[in-house]
Amino acid sequence: MDGNFFSNLLAIVIIDLVLAGDNAILIGLAARNLPGRQRRTVIFWGPAGAIFSRAMATLIVVWLLTIPGLRLIGGLVLIWIAYGLLTEKKEDHDPIEAGKSVWGAIRTIIIADFIMGLDNVLAVAGAAQGNFVLIIAGLLISVPVMIWGSSLVVKYTERYPIIVYIGAGVLALTAGGMITSEPLLAAVFNQGLFRKWLVNGLIIGLVLFFGVRRRQQESFE
């Protein structure tokens, strides 16, 4: 475990919290019709199932990213996700159906979390750079915080927009890392670090510039 490990772990935690803070609300929605004791059971086993399903999905994506060309595609998708993080409007979570039983609520949480967290899975896979320990450590740290502190996560991202900008910047940096590590582009980026950092800086700058500008335009509409 070196400095690179902990910097990547920090990136994963930031990505998880910024991208998935809203997703945590589904826990309360899925369990809202259950009595207290059953609700506590759901709040424990729902996150446990979500951690497992995300870990498996992330490992599959990590494997897919070894296929030539897919790191480039994944990086481009992450650029769009980073831009969308700055411009998207809050989603309506009301359509999430409340579970009528413990198993029904847990199933709802796992399925909804998986569907809503696909962008998160891709981002974590890119930041982990194939390190399984990083994936599990990031999930174990951030998912419980995201779920049991969901209201705080959402409140503070709304109160302090700088958190969203930092998250978008980390996503953009992860996207740049995926693109510059693409095997098909090895001839371009294996000549030295300057080109890699130039591309990373350009991607971060463009995402923040256009994302902030779009955010400002929407505030005036």
What DSSP state is assigned to residue 23? G
Give φ, ψ of 95 to 5 degrees: -65, -15
pLDDT tens readout for residues 3-26: 678 888 888 877 777 776 555 556
Instruction: Identify the CA nearest to 171 among candidates 141, 126, 210.
Output: 126
Give DSSP secondary structure letters for 100-138: SSHHHHHHHHHHHHHHHTHHHHHHHHHHHTT-HHHHHHH
- pTM for this predicted structure: 0.74
Please state the domain count of the chain.
1
- The pLDDT score that the predictor gives to residue 93 is 47
Q: What is the pLDDT of residue 142?
A: 67
pLDDT category, 205, cuts 50, 70, 90?
Answer: very high
Mean pLDDT of the 45-56 span: 77
- Model pLDDT for residues 122-139, shown as the tens digit of each residue: 888 888 877 888 888 877
Question: What is the distance between the alpha carbons of residues 196 and 192, in angstroms, rounded to a whole number?
Answer: 7
pLDDT of residue 151: 55
Query: Residue range 45-60: average pLDDT?
Result: 79
Q: Provide the 8-state DSSP code for 67.
A: S
Report the mean per-residue pLDDT for the chain. Answer: 76
Q: What is the pLDDT of residue 92?
A: 47
Residue 198, domain extent: 3-220
Sequence-distant (6+) residues with CB within 8 A of 161 are none
- Residues 217 and 221: their CA atoms lie apart, in Å, by 7
How far, in Å, CA of 148 to CA of 27, rounded?
9
Give the Cα separation of 90 and 164 in Å (integer): 13
User: What's the confidence (pLDDT) of residue 34?
Assistant: 66
% of the chain surpassing 90 pLDDT? 8
